Each structure stands twice: as C-alpha cells, then as structure tokens.
C-alpha cells in the first residue's frame, strides 16, 4: 500500500488475524501428533463411549501424566473438531468422544492415517521444509540440503527411517486401495499379470490379488525394500531399478510413484513401462493427484500442499495438472489416456499402449 489510498481497517485486522493463524498451523499438526503418540483416540475407542480426562490419562503409558497439559491439548483438538467435548448435565467432568476425523487416528483400525501422520511430522521429514526458500534461491533438492543425502539413500542405510517411511506408505496404500477397489471395479478384470512398480513391501499387490485371484502379482521395488517384504499368496517380490527395466506383465500399476520425479525421469519410467507391457493390449494404471489449482473439491487444497511436499521430500518431483500429465504421457509413448475419479485424494490415470 502506498500513496494516499484509504486503509480498510477491518480488512487489515482480518489480514493480521489470518497471518497469525497460518503462522501457527504447525501447532495443529503437533497437537495431532501428540494425540497419536499418546494413543488418545485408541483409549477413548477402547471404552466404547465418551470418557473423562482422568480416564484418558489413566490409559496413557505414564506413571504421572500431566492432566492440565492434556486438557489444553484436547481443548485445541476439540476446537478443530478432532474430538468432541460434552459437559455432563449433573455438573460432572466433561466427556471426550471420537469424531469421523479422530477415527482415522486409531492405530489398530483397518484404515488409519496414524503412521503417515507420525512420518510426516517426524523431525527428519520436517527438516527439509526449512529449506524451501533455499530451493527457490538456488534450486536443488531440499531433503539433500537438510540431510546431506536424498530420501531413498537415507532409507537404504537407516533401518529406523526405512521403517517409519514404509509404515507411512503402507497405511496410505491401504486407504487408497480401498478406494481403488470400490471405484475401479472393471479395471483389473482383463489383466492376467500385473506389476506394481515401486510397490514397497507388497501390501498393495496383496490387496489386488486378494480381490482378483486370477491375477499373477509382481511386487517390484528397490532391493533393500523388498528384502523386508513379507510373503503374500499370489505375489512374487522382485528387486530392481525402474529406470533400468521393469518386469514384463499385462499391465503396470504405479501408485504415488511418478510424483516423486521430474518430467524427464517420468518419461524414462513410462518408456520402460511401454517395453514391459504388450504392444496392443497393455496399459499403465497410474494412481496420482490431478491438481485443480482453482478447484473447490474436498482434497484440492491438500493437493497443492502435496505439491510443496514434493519439493521438500522428493528428487525434483511434483504434482501435476491434467495438461502436465498429458505431456509426460505422450513423451513416454502413451497417446491415449483417461482420468477416473475415485473416493480418495488421488485419481486413476489409465494410459494405453495402442
């Protein structure tokens, strides 16, 4: 603002309030992390009904939990609608209950975001975010600036980091797979063999084969990743490098792989996919975000945050809009594609060899 323009005092105050709010958004993440580490959702869930702060505290693995501190954390999480708080009519202690949000924080639930939340809020994974401005000034890879090596290199030499990372990937894979199986019913029907490129420890392929027993499943990832993979019926694990060659199959499945890489690397991967599948009938099933920068869908804001996550954690990766997907697919040898919406954060991009 300059010159003699009139100042809208109300708008300026709102602007100040907004910046304070954005400044402390990290407190929401840390409160959520605290709740997951203390298993607060699990403690409430185990009672089968809303419970008091004292009951929550008695379930925390500690001889002397600080109930005052707990109450302050819960106050913020109630405000954010993660938990409910209901005063008792007889003047007794407030009862805290679960919401649709806190049910995603249960450790032992079939579908849980708890491992992903712990992973994304671990100091190792938060450190690269502090390098965003350096990436703007200098280019380069944020994770490497923070840790002196890229994310995959750290995972290959640090078993603790490897486990945190794999657990985070596995929990989101389960959630996405549930959405894929419900929203992509006919997509696997004609596939005899399927290779999951970057399939981690094989949980995704196991889910697909369980639902479609006729499929011969190949779980393909780096050797140190598949080395820790459990045995699954109908799935074989293959170690290798997707930039060199991909095992042959009727179709290639890739979930949240392409966003880790820049366009040039994505084209290399797609060209190797093209070699791995039949000339006329083959297809690639890509599960990724399709960015809608102006969109108002329930996941569109998260999509833009994920794009910055790619700066923080990947080797030059990014989330892509549909025109950006069209470009890399064409350069990789896939002239036809369609986008299929599923009830989840990503969509399915089905690309055809013919």
What's the rounded mean pLDDT across residues 217-221? 98
Pair 70, 122 in one domain: no
179 assigned to some structural domain: yes
Please report, for the domain that includes residue 216, its CATH number.
3.40.50.150
4 in a structural domain = no
Catalytic residue, from 45, 147, 259, 313: name it: 259
In order of 134, 141, 259, 274, 342, the CA distances from 138 in angstroms are: 6, 10, 21, 35, 38
Q: Could you tell me if residue 2 is inside a domain?
A: no
Same structural domain for residues 196 and 327? Answer: yes
The last residue of one of the domains, among 82, 104, 126, is 104
Closest alpha carbon to 83 in 111, 119, 42, 112: 42
Residues 62 and 98 in one domain: yes
Confidence of residue 91 (pLDDT cuts 50, 70, 90): confident
CATH number at residue 50: 1.10.10.10
Which of 77, 104, 131 delimits the end of a domain?
Answer: 104
Query: What tokens were used for 130?
Result: 């502090």
Instruction: Indicate whether 86 and 199 sit together in one domain.
Output: no
- Is the domain of 89 the same as that of 121? no
Main-chain phi, psi angles of 171, to 5 degrees: -70, -40
- Does the annotation mark 130 as catalytic? no
Q: Which of 104, 133, 157 is the last residue of a domain?
A: 104
- 191 with 320, same domain: the answer is yes
User: Could you list the residue range(s) of the whole structural domain that residue 81 is in?
Assistant: 9-104
Please check whether residues 247 and 348 belong to one and the same domain. Answer: yes
- End-to-end Cα spacing for the chain: 56
29 shares its domain with 143? no
Q: What is the pLDDT of residue 88?
A: 86
Query: pTM value?
Result: 0.85
1 belongs to a structural domain: no
* 95 pLDDT tier (thresholds 50, 70, 90): very high
Same domain, yes or no, for 128 and 249? Answer: yes
In a domain, residue 49? The reply is: yes
Looking at per-residue pLDDT, the higher value among 196 and 183 belongs to: 196
Domain count, the chain: 2
Specify if 59 maps to a domain: yes
pLDDT digits (tens, 9 = 90+) for 7-59: 899 999 999 999 999 999 999 999 999 999 999 999 999 999 999 999 999 99
Mean pLDDT, range 122-127, rounded to an integer: 96
């Amino acid at each position: 603002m300059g010159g003699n323009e009139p100042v809208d005092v109300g708008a300026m105050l709102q602007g100040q309030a907004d910046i304070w709010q954005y400044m402390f958004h990290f407190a929401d993440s840390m409160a959520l992390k605290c709740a997951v580490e203390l298993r607060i959702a699990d403690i409430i869930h185990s009672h089968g009904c809303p419970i008091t702060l004292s009951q929550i505290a008695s379930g925390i693995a500690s001889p002397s939990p600080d109930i005052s501190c707990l109450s302050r954390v819960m106050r913020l999480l109630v405000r954010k609608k993660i938990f409910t708080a209901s005063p008792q009519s007889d003047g007794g202690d407030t009862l805290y209950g679960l919401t649709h949000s806190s049910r995603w924080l249960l450790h032992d639930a079939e579908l849980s975001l708890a491992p992903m939340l712990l992973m994304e809020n671990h100091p190792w994974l938060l450190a690269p975010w502090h390098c965003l401005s350096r990436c703007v000034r200098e280019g380069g890879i944020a994770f490497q600036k923070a840790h002196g090596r890229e994310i995959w290199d750290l995972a290959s030499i640090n078993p603790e980091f490897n486990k945190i990372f794999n657990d985070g990937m596995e929990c989101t894979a389960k959630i996405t797979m549930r959405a894929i199986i419900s929203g992509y019913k006919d997509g696997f029907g004609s596939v005899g063999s399927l290779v999951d490129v970057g399939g981690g420890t094989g949980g995704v392929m196991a889910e697909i084969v369980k639902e479609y027993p006729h499929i011969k499943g190949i779980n393909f990832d780096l050797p140190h990743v598949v080395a820790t993979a459990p045995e699954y019926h109908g799935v074989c694990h293959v170690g290798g490098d997707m930039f060199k060659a991909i095992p042959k199959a009727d179709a290639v499945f890739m979930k949240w792989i392409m966003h880790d890489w820049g366009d040039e690397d994505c084209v290399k991967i797609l060209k190797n996919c093209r070699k791995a599948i039949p000339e006329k009938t083959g297809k690639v099933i890509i599960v990724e975000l399709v960015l809608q920068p102006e969109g108002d869908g329930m996941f569109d804001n998260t999509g833009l945050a994920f794009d910055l996550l790619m700066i923080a954690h990947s080797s030059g990766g990014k989330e892509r809009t549909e025109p950006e997907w069209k470009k890399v697919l064409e350069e990789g040898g896939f002239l036809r594609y369609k986008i299929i919406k599923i009830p989840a954060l990503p969509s399915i991009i089905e690309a055809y060899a013919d």
